[in-house]
Amino acid sequence: MIQLIVSDMDGTLLNHKLEVSKVNQEAIQAAQQRGIRFMVATGRGYTEAVPSLHEAGIHCPMITVNGGQIYDENGTLERSIGIDKARIRSILQFVKEKGLYAELVLKSGVYSENKVRRIETMTTLLQNTNPDTTFKMALILAMGRMELLNIHYVEDYEELLNDDREEVLKVLIFSNIGQPELEPVRQHFEQDDELAITSSFFNNIEINHVEAQKGIALEHVANELGIPLENVMAIGDNYNDVSMLEKAGVSFAMGNAEPGVKAVAKYETKTNTEDGVGLAILRCINDNL
């Protein structure tokens, strides 16, 4: 019997407008009414993730920054795992030499050194994940969503790295060309046993501490709640979801998931634009998975 449902956000719970559909909202409510707990596990930082959830009336525990942090349903931080700043400086220097764009995720939010490149990155992402969307419409959607997100802009990341009170949880590296241009970064830092390299979209790689993974965080949450992992259901679409799909007793890959992710999951549901999360939850309830 499923006692806990954990869902990724981007490409999974959120549709092409980066919103939670009505069907998904109602399915989550139906599960909760049956005593099944719901939480999200996202690559986003807390402040970046909350707006879309609260818009949909969803207040739940959260695994954020790919497992770097765990929050309870009241927004209280329970666990945090960051990357040491020497490694952060090394990553940023390597990325700069490759001419790529990077963002830092801290407890206080997402930080960028270049607003124009952030807008370009989000616009390209929206256009590529929604082929019927024109560049102009993707730009409008990108600008609209950014107004809701807690993005901070700084002149130089050294401002943050020199502040002893700040902890870097994740480095996001982007390429509008996609994974081929990011592959040298992946290959270089995969050699470091203290780092975990994943991806949540075609145009990024995400670097976390090796202990900051969704599967590790999910196991921690399940243990705290006294829920066996076989009674956990996980839903995801990309490679940063694989560790939690492997841990959960019941796992669903989205219809739009990467082939390697589908190979790991036990079941497949519809795409994120076809209410895939809601349909998976209803199947879980109706079929008593």
16-50 pLDDT tens trace? 888 999 999 999 999 999 999 999 999 998 988 99
| Residue in the block written with tokens 């008593």 | 288
Query: Which residues of the chain does CATH 3.40.50.1000 include?
Result: 4-80+212-287
Q: Which helix (H) or strand (E) holds 278?
A: helix 276-287
pLDDT for the residue numbered 153: 87
CB-neighbour burial class of residue 104 (10 A; exposed 0-12, middle 13-18, buried 19+): buried
What mean pLDDT comes out for the span 175-200? 92
Whole-angstrom Cα distance, residue 99 to residue 181?
Answer: 10
**What is the C-alpha separation between 245 and 280, in angstroms, rounded?**
14
**Tens of pLDDT, residues 213-251:** 999 999 999 999 999 999 999 999 999 999 999 999 999
Are 27 and 62 contacting, i.e. CB atoms less than 8 angstroms apart?
no
Q: What is the pLDDT of residue 48?
A: 85
pLDDT digits (tens, 9 = 90+) for 127-184: 666 666 666 665 556 555 555 456 788 999 999 999 988 899 999 999 988 889 999 9
The CATH class of the 85-209 domain is alpha beta
Residue 195, φ and ψ in degrees, nearest 5 = -120, 150
CATH 3.30.1240.10 domain range(s) in the chain:
85-209
**Domain spanning 4-80+212-287, CATH class:** alpha beta
Confidence (pLDDT) at 138: 55
Q: How confident is the model over 67-92, as a mean pLDDT?
A: 95
Q: Name the β-bridge partners of 53.
A: none
